[in-house]
């Protein structure tokens, strides 16, 4: 059904025939309708958008409107568009809206809003906005549309619309602002993160202009400097630098100000509000304004006060530890694994190698050490490479310069690089020669003490002393003399490492200038040639080509009783350990010389007494407390008809006393040994000889006691008085 009256259709046909336009008068004459009616219909068409009007002076010319179908127009829009009539039925919907709601046109167009796929827009709030638009208001609102695959944001415009039949309607435009919203949300999140970063990081952020005035200061300023940001902004950076460091800091900053280039790790000392000194390490990026002019720096500064203090302490510790490593007695070497070259020696190692660090750095073992030391220096390194654990090499004896033997112990320690791979091998070499020699000296002293305990004479003791001295001193030749108590001559007791000619020539050295240096109370040393110049009698020392001779008297009760001499053809001087060994052995022997002298005197007295016993004209018997015979002299053996070995150990009473008297005599003897009775000055009793005869003997008995007074036996001497 045509919605227009017949007259309107005729007006539209007439205007179609006259595309250049017609006035009200032209239309009134052509249609045969009065002007007022034509004017009213023209106004209706203007309102409906069917016509356009142009004014030429007082005349109004009307044209047909150049229109495109609404369905075509809305599909040209990138925004979503749908049209509702006054009953909220969907009249039109473009492709974008259908894409948003994921529906076909049949599922939307011609259906009430609440029953279509656009039902999400049938919300009380949106209905309120639509009703406001129907009343002539322009409504713009942001809405969120939820879908299974996410959410979309739209800027919704609700526009009042009039259809051709004059009925009211609503056009809703949906501008997709999802990306904008996401960008805004990302921006807000970024700003929040940046704000949190600025506020939470331990660094302080400054914006400083070209005059070094603070333009922006982050909140961390309060924690690090004690000033709130607003207290710092507007002030020059030099206002916070300690006055004593102004020039240094100013010069440092001006270098970067003139270059207008980024800088990093610039140290800036500043004063805390409490007066403390804070050191910042700042990095800056230049700022330029919109026209490219330099506008200052954006700086990030970190409080490195504690780090610098720690670094100073670390440098102090490194210096301290380096000093320790350099001055410890152990030798320290560091070898680079890949090339096998040394990179560090301490002072003890330099002395061991005989060169300074500059000379050996970058060299291998064979370029530094003699061939016999190379295996020792590289020992254990293969084990360290394989297992990556420290390795202790066994104790090794090596000969150093001067042909002196040393005992060394080395520990190899792996040092890894940053990648965990073996990079260096640290060698710590300990010279344990002193300990080895001390152990040797202790062992030899022990063995010497045992040997001296069983020594029967001074000559034997001195020979043992010479043997021990050579073993512990490391010297290869030696001689020991006894001092004649009567003449003061030196009498050769023993020699080692010297020729027979020397022994013959030095068998007896007369007292005089030659003997004097040997008898002084301390170790004396000099070359053999020098010693020979003191007295021709010492010429054999020079003949033996002895490079050094050391002597030490052996004293007893303040008097020299012997002289111990050691010598070497290789040592230029007597080593300290050899001197100590000589002193120790001489002192040890001195302690037993008195005992040996006493033993010799006792032996001499015993031998003298033995001689007296043997030549005595009476029978002498020594009887123990248990009645066994300990001794019988020659005369007694002759009288009794026995050899002495046949009597010693036999019971006196069972062997030599008549059976009838045996029990009584044995009881008397027992009481005598118990101290109950004392022996008579003399008594006559019979004894039985080997051939069974009884012989009367006049006995003189003497009780024998030890140093504590205890009875240890009986000595009886007797003359034969009867057959």
pLDDT of residue 481 exceeding 70, the answer is yes
Pairwise CA distance, residues 379 & 719, whole Å: 85
- The answer to whether 97 touches 118, Cβ cutoff 8 Å, is yes
pLDDT digits (tens, 9 = 90+) for 498-529: 898 988 888 888 887 767 767 775 556 677 67
Q: Tens of pLDDT along 30-71?
A: 888 888 888 888 888 877 677 888 888 778 888 887 665 555
Q: Which domains does the chain have, with CATH numbers?
A: 6-64 (1.10.10.10), 70-181 (3.30.450.20), 201-307 (3.30.450.20), 328-427 (3.30.450.20), 436-601 (3.30.450.40), 616-720 (3.30.450.20)
Mean pLDDT of 126-147: 79
Q: Locate all alpha helices (DSSP H) within 18-69, ordered by sequence.
A: 24-31, 35-48
Range with the poorest average pLDDT among 42-56, 491-505, 598-612, 685-699: 598-612
pLDDT tens per residue, range 256-297:
777 888 888 888 899 999 988 989 988 888 888 878 888 888
Query: For 440-460, what is each residue's pLDDT tens digit?
Result: 888 888 888 888 777 777 888
What single string gives the DSSP state of each residue in 586-630? HHHHHHHHHHHHHHHHHHHHHHHHHHHHHH-SSEEEEEETTSBEE
Tell me what pLDDT residue 524 has: 64
Mean pLDDT over each residue of the chain, to the nearest integer: 82
* pTM listed for this prediction: 0.46
Report pLDDT for 64: 80
**Residue where the block lists tokens 């005989």:** 354
Q: What is the pLDDT of residue 214?
A: 92
**d(C-alpha 290, C-alpha 207), whole Å:** 16
In this prediction, residue 1 carries a pLDDT of 40
- Whether the pLDDT of residue 2 is over 60: the answer is no
Q: Check if the beta carbon of residue 230 is closer than 8 Å to that of residue 221.
A: no
pLDDT in tens, 317-327: 888 878 888 88
């Amino acid at each position: 059904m045509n919605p227009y009256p017949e007259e309107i259709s005729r007006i539209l046909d007439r205007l179609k025939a006259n595309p250049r336009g017609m006035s009200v008068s032209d239309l009134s004459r052509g249609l045969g309708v009065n002007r007022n009616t034509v004017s009213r219909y023209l106004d209706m068409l203007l309102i409906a958008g069917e016509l356009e009007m142009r004014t030429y002076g007082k005349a109004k010319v009307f044209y047909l409107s150049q229109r495109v179908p609404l369905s075509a127009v809305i599909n040209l829009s990138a925004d979503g568009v749908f049209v509702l009539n006054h009953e909220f039925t969907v009249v039109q919907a473009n492709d974008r809206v259908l894409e948003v709601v994921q529906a076909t046109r049949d599922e939307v167009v011609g259906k009430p809003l609440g029953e279509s796929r656009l039902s999400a827009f049938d919300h009380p709030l949106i209905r309120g906005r639509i009703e406001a638009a129907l009343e002539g208001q322009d409504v713009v609102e942001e809405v969120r549309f939820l879908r299974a695959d996410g959410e979309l944001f739209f800027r919704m415009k609700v526009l009042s619309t009039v259809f051709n039949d004059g009925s009211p309607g609503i056009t809703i435009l949906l501008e997709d602002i999802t990306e904008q919203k996401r960008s805004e949300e990302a921006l807000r999140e970024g700003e929040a993160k940046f704000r949190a970063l600025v506020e939470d990081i331990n660094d302080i952020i400054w914006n400083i202009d070209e005059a070094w005035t603070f333009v922006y200061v982050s909140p961390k300023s309060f924690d690090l400097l004690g000033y709130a940001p607003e207290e710092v902004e507007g002030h020059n950076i030099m206002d916070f630098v300690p006055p004593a460091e102004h020039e240094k800091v100013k010069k440092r900053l001006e270098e970067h100000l003139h270059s207008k280039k980024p800088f990093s790790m610039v140290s800036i000392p500043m004063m805390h509000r409490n007066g403390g000194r804070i050191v910042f390490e700042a990095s800056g990026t230049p700022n330029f304004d919109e026209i490219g002019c330099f506008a200052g720096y954006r700086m990030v500064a970190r409080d490195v006060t504690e780090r610098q203090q720690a670094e100073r302490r670390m440098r102090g510790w490194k210096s301290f530890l380096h000093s320790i490593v350099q001055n410890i007695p152990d030798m320290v070497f560091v070898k680079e694994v890949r090339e096998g070259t040394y990179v560090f020696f301490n002072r003890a190692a330099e002395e061991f190698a005989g060169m300074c660090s500059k000379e050996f750095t970058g060299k291998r073992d064979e370029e530094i050490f003699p061939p016999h030391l190379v295996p020792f220096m590289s020992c254990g390194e293969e084990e360290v490479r394989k297992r990556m654990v420290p390795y202790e090499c066994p104790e090794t004896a090596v000969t150093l310069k001067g042909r002196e033997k040393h005992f060394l112990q080395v520990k190899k320690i792996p040092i890894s690089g940053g990648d965990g791979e073996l990079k260096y091998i640290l060698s710590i070499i300990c010279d344990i020669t002193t300990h080895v020699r001390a152990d040797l000296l202790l062992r030899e002293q022990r063995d010497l003490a045992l040997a001296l305990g069983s020594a029967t004479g001074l000559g034997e003791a001195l020979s043992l002393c010479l043997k021990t001295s050579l073993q512990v001193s490391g010297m290869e030749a030696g001689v020991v003399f006894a001092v004649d108590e009567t003449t003061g001559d030196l009498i050769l007791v023993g020699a080692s490492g010297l020729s027979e000619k020397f022994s013959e020539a030095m068998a007896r050295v007369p007292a005089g200038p030659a003997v004097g240096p040997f008898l002084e109370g301390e170790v004396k040393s000099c070359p053999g040639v020098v010693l020979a110049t003191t007295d021709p009698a010492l010429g054999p020392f020079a003949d033996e080509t002895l490079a050094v001779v050391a002597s030490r008297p052996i004293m007893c009760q303040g008097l020299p009783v012997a002289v111990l001499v050691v010598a070497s053809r290789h040592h230029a001087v007597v080593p300290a350990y050899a001197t100590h060994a000589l002193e120790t052995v001489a002192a040890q022997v001195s302690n037993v010389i008195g005992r040996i002298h006493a033993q010799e005197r006792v032996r001499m007295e015993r031998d003298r007494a033995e001689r007296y016993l043997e030549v005595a004209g009476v029978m002498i018997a020594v009887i123990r407390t248990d009645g066994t015979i300990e001794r019988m002299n020659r005369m007694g053996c002759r009288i009794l008809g026995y050899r002495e070995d046949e009597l010693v150990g036999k019971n006196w009473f069972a062997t030599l006393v008549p059976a009838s008297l045996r029990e009584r005599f044995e009881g008397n003897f027992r009481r005598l040994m118990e101290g109950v009775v004392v022996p008579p000055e003399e008594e006559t009793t019979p004894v039985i000889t080997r051939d069974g005869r009884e012989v009367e003997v006049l006995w003189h008995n003497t009780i024998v006691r030890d140093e504590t007074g205890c009875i240890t036996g009986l000595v009886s001497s007797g003359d034969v008085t009867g057959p």
